[in-house]
């Protein structure tokens, strides 16, 4: 019997209401339980104090509540917090809380490992083990929201899908999680405060535009020259820049939402004028801004951050062409919590 019990959080609100009706109860009971599961983040049926004891027993006989567990929390000298998160099947992902004076941002994972093969990213070395379920994504956000209130005295303000995994390769579950995060029965956050960062899967960017998700889009570009991009992000062979550009034009036409390009300048890879010019040209396709991000070394040492002059050259060329550019410094490097460093080392 025990093994047959289903994860109750895999049910939609409607399915939960229907379950109660099928048990001879009211559909309203389903709404109450749903609220416990999501906005109140109950970990056990016992906590559901406005539900009768018999009903709680019945639920226990039929369902389990799978919940993530923050296994280990590390704090960086700059305030950044990294959670190693244990899933119900003992796999681990990581999520990060990044505090700044104005906001606290949760950087969450969407997959265990990653489907893609970016040569400079520690997560890619893990390969993809499985997609995260909507509740596993949602729980990471709740855990970070709690930490934000506890350590910084304010609720979480922003979410970025820049943890482990490629969010657009786990599209349905990411969208279901966002629905919960933004709904009143969940956290009630505005979708405008949520950014999906993708390495650029054209078909899924178009789908995101069609679904009118109202979230922000960031694209990890790193090179606007196909031969170079394919070397560092081999899947670019399958999804070349021409297709990416077309998908981004489609996105902008539908959403009117400006795109952010994330770009790392590496020594001997893209630290030259033609590469910067190619980026400037790519940026003309749709309204955008560029985040020049610092490279966080991963252990294999093939990639090296370019000189400060090379970064300044990019900055100047972009600015001269009227493109907004910011240079982003890494956070949480001392605890391997920075972009591209998430590889479950502490697990």
Instruction: Quote the least distance from Cβ 160 to ligand SAH, whole Å.
Output: 8
> Is 339 a catalytic site residue?
yes
Distance CA 52, CA 57 (A): 9
Numbered residues of the known binding site:
114, 118, 121, 165-166, 197, 220-222, 296
Q: What are phi and psi of 98, to 5 degrees?
A: -115, 110
Cβ–Cβ < 8 Å for 131, 110: yes
Give the nearer residue to ligand SAH in terms of CB position, either 117 or 179: 117
Give the nearer residue to ligand SAH in terms of CB position, either 47 or 237: 237
- Ranked by CB distance to ligand SAH, the top (closest) residue is 340
Q: Which residues bind ligand SAH (CB under 6 A)?
A: 120-121, 162, 166, 197-199, 220, 262, 264, 293, 295-296, 298, 339-340
Q: How many CB atoms lie within 10 A of CB 50?
A: 9
Q: What is the sign of the dihedral through the CA atoms of 86, 88, 89 and 93?
A: negative
Instruction: Quote the least distance from Cβ 342 to ligand SAH, whole Å.
Output: 8
Instruction: Quote the least distance from Cβ 315 to ligand SAH, whole Å.
Output: 17
Out of 94, 136, 147, 262, pick the active-site residue. Answer: 94
Instruction: Quote the least distance from Cβ 177 to ligand SAH, whole Å.
Output: 15
Cβ–Cβ < 8 Å for 93, 85: yes
Instruction: Provide CB contacts within 8 A for 194, sequence distance 6+.
Output: 158, 159, 160, 161, 178, 181, 182, 215, 216
Distance CA 97, CA 241 (A): 32
Q: What are phi and psi of 28, to 5 degrees?
A: -55, -35
Give the nearer residue to ligand SAH in terms of CB position, either 252 or 303: 303
Give the nearer residue to ligand SAH in terms of CB position, either 236 or 296: 296
Numbered residues of the known binding site for S-adenosyl-L-methionine:
165-166, 197, 220-222, 296
Catalytic residues: 94, 339
């Amino acid at each position: 019997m025990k093994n047959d019990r289903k994860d109750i959080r895999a049910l939609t609100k409607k399915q939960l209401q229907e379950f109660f009706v099928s048990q001879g109860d009211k559909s309203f009971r389903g709404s109450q339980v749903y609220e416990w599961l999501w906005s109140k983040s109950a970990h056990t049926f016992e906590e559901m104090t406005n539900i009768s004891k018999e009903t709680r027993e019945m639920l226990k006989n039929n369902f389990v509540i799978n919940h993530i567990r923050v296994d280990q929390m590390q704090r960086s000298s700059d305030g950044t917090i990294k959670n190693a998160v244990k899933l119900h099947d003992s796999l681990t992902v990581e999520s990060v809380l990044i505090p700044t004076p104005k906001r606290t941002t949760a950087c969450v994972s969407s997959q265990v490992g990653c489907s893609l093969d970016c040569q400079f990213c520690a997560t890619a070395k893990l390969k993809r083990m499985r997609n995260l379920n909507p509740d596993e994504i949602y729980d990471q956000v709740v855990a970070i929201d709690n930490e934000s209130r506890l350590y910084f005295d304010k609720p979480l303000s922003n979410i970025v899908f820049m943890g482990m995994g490629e969010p657009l390769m786990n599209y349905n579950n990411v969208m279901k999680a966002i629905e919960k995060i933004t709904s009143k029965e969940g956290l009630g956050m505005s979708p405008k405060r949520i950014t999906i960062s993708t390495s650029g899967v054209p078909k899924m960017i178009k789908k995101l535009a069609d679904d009118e998700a109202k979230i922000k889009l960031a694209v990890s570009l790193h090179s606007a020259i196909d031969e170079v991009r394919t070397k560092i992000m081999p899947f670019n062979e399958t999804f070349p820049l021409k297709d990416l550009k077309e998908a981004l034009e489609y996105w902008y036409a539908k959403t009117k939402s400006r795109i952010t390009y994330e770009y790392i300048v590496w020594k001997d890879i893209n630290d030259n004028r033609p590469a910067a010019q190619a980026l400037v040209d790519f940026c003309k396709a749709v309204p955008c801004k560029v985040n020049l991000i610092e490279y966080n070394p991963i252990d294999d040492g093939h990639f090296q951050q370019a000189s400060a002059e090379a970064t300044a050259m990019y900055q100047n060329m972009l600015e001269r062409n009227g493109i907004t550019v910011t240079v982003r410094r890494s956070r949480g490097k001392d605890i391997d919590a920075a972009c591209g460093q998430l590889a479950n080392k502490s697990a």
